[in-house]
Amino acid sequence: MQEVGNDSLWNLNVASLLCNATSLKILDLSHNNLSGTIPQCFGNLSYSLEFLNLKKNKFYGTIPPTFAQGCQLANLNLNGNLLEGPLTPSILNCKGLEVLDLGNNKINDTFPHWLGSLPQLQVLVLKSNHMHGSLRVNSSKSSPFFSKIQIFDLSREIPKVIGKLNLLKGLNLSHNNLNGGIPTSIGNLTNLSMKQLSGQIPRSLGNLLQLTHLDLSHNQLSGQVPLSILNLTRLEDLTIVENSLEGSIPDDVTAFPDLILLDLPNNLFNGTLPSWLYTAPTLKEIDLSQNQISGHIKEFQSKSLESIWLENNKLQGLLPSSIFQLLNLIGLSLSSNNLSGVIELSMFSNLPNLKYLDLSYNSLSLTSNSTSTVNLTSLLLSSCNLSEFPQFLKGLKSLEWLDLSYNRIEGKIPQWMQEVGIDSLRYLNISHNSLTEVEQFPWKNIAFLDLSSNLIRGNLPILASTINIFLISNNSFNGEVSSLICNASALQILDLSHNNLSGKIPQCFGNLSNSLEFLNLKKNKDKLSNFNLNGNLLEGPLTPSILNCKGLEVLNLGNNKINDTFPHWLGGLPQLQVLVLKSNHMHGSLCVNSSKSSPFFSKIQIFDLSSNYFSGPLPVRYINSFKAIINLEKIGSTVSYMGENDHGGRGFYTYSIGIVIKGQYMELVKIFNMWMIIDLSNNQFEGGIPKVIGKLNLLKGLNLSHNNLNGGIPTSIGNLTSLEWLDLSSNRLSGTIPNRLAELPFLSSLNVSENQLHGNKGLCGFPVSKGCNIIEPPPPNVLEKDGSKSNFAFGWKVALIGYGCGVVFGMFVGYVVFQTGKPKWLVNLVENQHEKRRKRKSKKGNRSNR
């Protein structure tokens, strides 16, 4: 397989390079500046070529007839060129063609009906051309046209024949200039799923009188749902997940008599629940979660309901008594509303099929005077004003998921709780209560255990071997971390922060290297990607065993007592993006004497060695190797944060760091992927600032202050067009300030004080310190949380979150202070549990196949 990639400018004879590559299977020349006609000799490739992408070039002329001889193509994309017509029927030789995209060209032809005989064609795009004529088929042949088509995009007019495409599930009507209305023949479709739509839902949707399944999920739809949707009386499945629809849900007491599934979560619907919701005779599943629906929940008359998901709305009032008469009910979620009143938990024992119950985050008062007789598997009662473990739990022998967080439960965990779900419990969250004592945990299959933010004293409990995530931050645990913790061989995330633990870090943590991804011992290890032991009393020297962590991305050992020379060998970590060694006792030169040509720190984005005793010249070789900052190493162009897109346990944590920005210390709970910073301040570096510094064109912040640097400020710093702050203060620099600094578009903080600079009579005003008769306001000491005032974004909060490599470090801890904030991913993990309740996917599939 060979591929010629995107994003470069071409001006060469493609034919001479490629036409002899007769074994080529994949050829991608998209998004270049190629021109001329498509080479005739591409016919030589057709016997092997399966994928050809020439999109977004400047090819002109017609598609050559030899193009498709002996054709093996499955995907042909010629979109966005200057091709003219007519089309060549030789395309019919491509019997396995599945995708044909000729959009955005200058093809002048009538509609190629003969394409309908391609037996495997699923996607046909002819939009934005000069095609004309009728789409009517005059042939009396009975052979099927476009029998496997799923996406049919003509840009101008929807053909009436579309109503005969009974298997059609995907109809792309987005970004077009449609003429006329939606043809009435579309009403013959019974199962329609539309993607990539924007704008409002048209009233003509109500013409689809035969429709039984409608899915408009994950689009960019806005406005209100038209009242004409009430015409769809045969509808069984109405699914419009995650759009921006607003207004009230259309209401008519006789609406949707055959509806089985109503799935409208993650929109902006307001108003009250529609009246037909309570009476629809066949309705089984309701999901209106994540909207803004208000009012009271009225009495349900339909007895067919199996699941009700109304969480994250503005519902208020009492829980209707009819809820306890829905004998088929399997799942009920009413969390995060304004419901009130007193509920006796034993009432839910009337529902023999109930498996999932979530009443969290309301203003309810729960009482529990008897044992449950239902077989619940998930019970979520977070923030329900509980002052003790409810007796209702005693009968739940098959419980898998229990959340009693954010209540007022005091004292110790009762003995009888050890029998609740002893063989089945996987998730237990009793954080943010006032518990003072825990014994050993008996649950044999526990995977998630959160005891954080209580008042628990004593030694750490022994963990089950099945535990994946263990969180006990913000308690009063004391003593050493026992090596018995390493028996938890599946441990992925361990947060021991904000306790009174002391002693050495157990060396057996090295045995967890195949599973442990995050270890929080802060102000307290690959699979490890983020190792943060910032703010402890660790000494040195560093051990090269860190090199075993091949996937390490963040190494933060700042604010310790490490006494060592600079560990040049860290440059061999292939994924390292953040290195923080600030505020230690490190010393010596950063110069590299090795003659090896391999790059050092090629992916580094944040390099903080401030407040040490490093000396000698600035590290020119390292600067030349910072490919990510020079923009030679692709780091992605979309807004994201380090760690948030990783798989496995990392999806719960994003990386964090504390750093000086524009003279202000900031603790960032997230690290933006375009965050490029070098801080070598408060050391003993000497000599001049090397001109090579000007190659770092993605650099956001540079701090070389409080050193012994001399000579002039190199004009090459004017090449740093992304620079936002520059601090060269307290050195021995001389000469003038380069005028080019005033031309840097984003520079908002410049400090060159305490040097020997002179001249620059014409340089004044922002961003240099000399004013132009204008009083500049002082820089803010906090940054916008969403980064809306800058060309990048980041999250911040006054807390550092630490993580941790299953590698034993030659460091010792006298007294370890553990600190962190409450991770937001805990909420996400709860949301993942909701996936377990959504059995409708399989049900929905079964219904659609009837």
Contact 538, 561 (CB under 8 A): yes
Which two three-digit tokens encode residue 483? Answer: 């090596």
Dist. CA 519–CA 492, nearest whole Å = 8
Report the pLDDT value the prediction gives residue 378, as an integer from 0 to 100: 96
Q: Which domain holds residue 516?
A: 492-592+599-821
Q: Residue 221: what pLDDT?
A: 84
Is 56 part of any domain? yes
Q: For residues 841 and 209, what is the distance between their CA atoms, to the nearest angstrom? A: 24
Top-confidence range, 438-447, 626-635, 803-812: 438-447
Retrieve residue 783's tokens. Answer: 């940054």
What is the C-alpha separation between 474 and 481, in angstroms, rounded? 16
Range from 186-200, 409-423, 493-507 carrying the lowest mean pLDDT: 186-200
Q: Which residue has the higher pLDDT, 16 or 754?
A: 754
* Dihedral angle sign, alpha carbons of residues 177, 183, 185, 187: positive
Instruction: Please report, for residues 35, 43, 101, 107, 128, the alpha-carbon distance to residue 79 in angstroms, rounded to integers and kept in the order given.
Output: 14, 19, 6, 11, 10
Q: Flag the least confident range among 13-22, 188-197, 531-540.
A: 188-197
Judge whether residue 660 has pLDDT over 60. yes
Higher per-residue pLDDT: 556 or 787: 556
3-state helix, strand, coil in the chain (%, to 5): 15, 20, 60
Looking at residue 335, its pLDDT comes to 97
Residue 141 CA, distance from chain mean position: 51
More confident call, 548 vs 280: 280
Checking if the pLDDT of 619 tops 60, the result is: yes
Q: Are 207 and 230 in contact (CB under 8 A)?
A: no
**What is the DSSP secondary-structure string of 703-734?**
E--SSEEEEPPPGGGGG-TT--EEE--SSEEE
| Alpha helical stretches, state H, 5-145 | 14-18
CA distance 794 to 77: 38
More confident residue, 15 or 366: 366
DSSP code of residue 641: B
Residue 192 in any domain: the answer is no
β-strands 268-269, 294-296: how paired? unpaired
Backbone angles phi, psi at 141, to 5 degrees: -65, 145
At residue 641 the predicted structure's pLDDT band, cuts being 50, 70 and 90, is low
Q: What is the mean pLDDT of residues 783-803?
A: 28
Whether 180 is in a domain gets the answer no
Beta strand pairing status for 378-380 and 401-403?
parallel
- pLDDT value at residue 775: 40
Q: Between 741 and 518, name the one with better pLDDT.
A: 741
pLDDT band at 579 (very low <50, low <70, confident <90, very high): very high
- The more confidently predicted of residues 206 and 654 is 206
Residue recorded with tokens 């329900």: 384
Kindly state the tokens that stand for 685. Answer: 């570096």
Q: Can you give the pLDDT at residue 89?
A: 84
Res. 814 pLDDT band, cuts 50 70 90: very low
420 is a domain residue: no
Give the Cβ contact number of residue 741 at 10 Å: 21
- Contact between residue 456 and residue 475 where contact means Cβ atoms under 8 Å apart: yes
The mean predicted confidence, pLDDT, of the chain is 77
Asked if pLDDT for residue 684 goes beyond 70, the answer is: yes
pLDDT surpasses 70 at 828 = no
Q: Provide, rounded to the nearest whole percent, the portion of the chain with pLDDT above 70.
A: 70
Q: How many CB atoms lie within 10 A of CB 452?
A: 24
Domain assignment present for residue 191? The answer is: no
- pLDDT surpassing 60 at residue 794: no
CA distance 42 to 679: 54
Q: In this structure, is residue 785 part of a structural domain?
A: yes
Q: What is the pLDDT, as a whole number, of residue 457?
A: 92
Torsion of CA 134, 137, 139, 143, to 10 degrees: 150
pLDDT number for residue 151: 63
Kindly report which listed range (36-45, 118-127, 316-325, 357-366) carries the lowest average pLDDT score. 36-45
The DSSP symbol for 565 reads B
Band of pLDDT at residue 808, cut at 50, 70 and 90: very low
What does the buried/exposed string (b/e) look like for 596-612 if buried means 16 or more CB atoms within 10 Å of the residue's CB?
eeebbbbbbbbbbbbbb
Tell me which of 149-153, 176-180, 260-264, 268-272 is least confident. Answer: 176-180
Q: How far apart are alpha carbons 463 and 455 in whole angstroms?
A: 19
pLDDT reported for residue 356? 97
Task: Region of 96 please: left (phi>0), alpha (psi -120 to 50) or beta.
Answer: alpha
More confident residue, 43 or 390: 390
Any bridge partners for residue 316, and if so which?
Answer: 296, 338
State both tokens at 479. 């003593």
Q: Is 177 exposed, middle or buried (0-12, 13-18, 19+ CB in 10 A)?
A: exposed
The amino acid at 549: C
Place of tokens 């739940």: 396
Mean pLDDT of 417-441: 92
CA–CA separation, 488 and 491 (whole Å)? 6
Is 537 contained in some domain? yes
Q: 276-290, 514-528, 529-543, 789-803: which has the minimum mean pLDDT?
A: 789-803
Residue 816 within a domain: yes
CA distance 770 to 331: 67
Tokens of 736: 């003038």
719-774 pLDDT per residue, tens: 999 999 999 999 999 998 888 888 888 888 889 889 888 655 544 444 444 454 43
Q: Which range scores top for mean pLDDT: 28-32, 63-67, 174-178, 328-332?
A: 328-332
Tell whether the model's pLDDT for residue 804 goes beyond 50.
Answer: no
What order do you get walking across the sheet with 244-247 strand by strand? 198-200, 220-223, 244-247, 268-269
Helix, coil or strand: residue 335: coil
What pLDDT is recorded for position 312? 97
Number of domains in the chain: 2
CATH of the domain at 123: 3.80.10.10
Give residue 503's pLDDT band: very low, low, confident or very high (50, 70, 90).
Answer: low
pLDDT surpassing 60 at residue 654: no
Q: Supply 769's token pair.
A: 């310190």
Q: What is the pLDDT of residues 246-281, one digit of tens each?
A: 999 999 988 999 999 999 999 999 999 999 999 999
Of residues 545, 661, 212, the one with CA closest to residue 555: 545
Query: Residue 650 pLDDT > 80, yes or no?
Result: no
Terminal Cα distance for the chain, rounded: 42
Question: 661 - beta bridge partners?
Answer: 664
Pairing of strands 261-263, 82-83: unpaired
Q: Say if residue 313 is exposed, middle or buried (CB neighbours under 10 Å; 0-12, 13-18, 19+).
A: buried
Residue 233: CB partners within 8 Å, gap ≥ 6? Answer: 209, 256, 257, 258
For 820-834, b where at least 16 C-beta lie within 10 A, e where not — what string? Answer: bbbbebbeebbeebb
More confident residue, 595 or 199: 199
The three-point CA angle 741-743-749 to 5° equals: 55
Q: How far apart are CA 458 and CA 439, in angstroms?
A: 10
- pLDDT of residue 511 exceeding 80, the answer is no
- Pick from 98-112, 261-275, 380-394, 443-457: least confident: 98-112
Mean pLDDT of the 585-593 span: 87
Tell whether the model's pLDDT for residue 170 goes beyond 50: no
The amino acid occupying position 435 is: L
Tell the residue number behind the tokens 């995530």, with chain if given: 469
Strands 657-661, 664-668: parallel, antiparallel or unpaired by DSSP? antiparallel
The Cβ-side half-sphere exposure at 160, using a 13 Å CA radius, reads 5
